[in-house]
Amino acid sequence: MIVTTRAAHENDFEFLRASHHSAYRDVTVRQFGAWDHAQQDEYFKASWDLGGLAVVLTDNVPCGYCQVEVRADDIHLRELVLEPRFQGRGIGTTLLRSLQARAAEQAIPLRLGTLLLNRAVALYERLGFRTTGRTDTLLLMEWMPGENATGAV
């Protein structure tokens, strides 16, 4: 399996919206109790920003997207979204390990926020992310260079 990314373009909007909806439906229902398609459309449109946005491909097949913001003091993974049929295949792990390597090269942390009831929390923890805070809806997580998969130095 070869995992790559390419810059997202305006013409990717419908694919990315569909990916967002299929990936977020389950966790949204678990955490908030309902899925409102029109509301999710509006949420996606309002957050549409091509800056750092990339289409994720596995063996050249689009399977989701990610959005990464490289800042002076950290790398922030704004989103990592994989369509459900591509989840559990190691694609997210591959992408996260690549970002961890980038953060390690720059000696800065890799940070993200994820919904409280997101199943991906287990993946983040397995890869050495630790919870640094929380909001009403999100866990704030961080991986620091020099820490192993259990979070120990």
> CATH no. for residue 22?
3.40.630.30
The answer to the question of residue 12 being in a domain is yes
pLDDT at residue 59, rounded to an integer: 96
Report d(CA 118, CA 31) in Å as an integer. 8
Burial of 44 (0-12, 13-18, 19+ CB in 10 A): middle
Q: For 42-64, what is each residue's pLDDT tens digit?
A: 989 888 888 889 999 999 999 99
Percent of the chain at pLDDT exceeding 90: 87
Report d(CA 99, CA 131) in Å as an integer. 18
The answer to the question of residue 114 being in a domain is yes
pLDDT at residue 67, rounded to an integer: 95
Is the pLDDT at 150 greater than 50, yes or no? no
The answer to the question of residue 139 being in a domain is yes
The answer to the question of residue 48 being in a domain is yes
Residue ranges making up the domain that contains 108: 3-143
pLDDT at residue 113, rounded to an integer: 97
The answer to the question of residue 149 being in a domain is no
Is the pLDDT at 153 greater than 50, yes or no? no
Domain count, the chain: 1
The answer to the question of residue 150 being in a domain is no
Over range 117-129, report the average pLDDT.
Answer: 96
Is the pLDDT at 149 greater than 80, yes or no? no
Cα distances (Å, whole numbers) of residue 137 to 7, 46, 79, 103, 134: 29, 18, 15, 26, 7
Find all residues with CB under 8 Å of 50, minimum gap 6, and list them: 7, 8, 9, 10
Report d(CA 143, CA 126) in Å as an integer. 11
The answer to the question of residue 148 being in a domain is no
Sequential DSSP letters for 5-69: EEE--GGGHHHHHHHHHHHHHHHHHHHHS---HHHHHHHHHHH---TTEEEEEETTEEEEEEEEE
The answer to the question of residue 20 being in a domain is yes
Give 146's Cβ-side CA count (13 Å radius): 5
The more confident residue out of 51 and 134 is 134
First to last CA, the chain: 31
**Under 8 Å between Cβ of 36 and 28:** no
Q: For 69-87, what is each residue's pLDDT tens digit?
A: 999 999 999 999 999 999 9
Torsion angle of alpha carbons 46, 52, 58, 60, nearest 10°? 100
pLDDT bin (cut points 50, 70, 90) of residue 35 is: very high
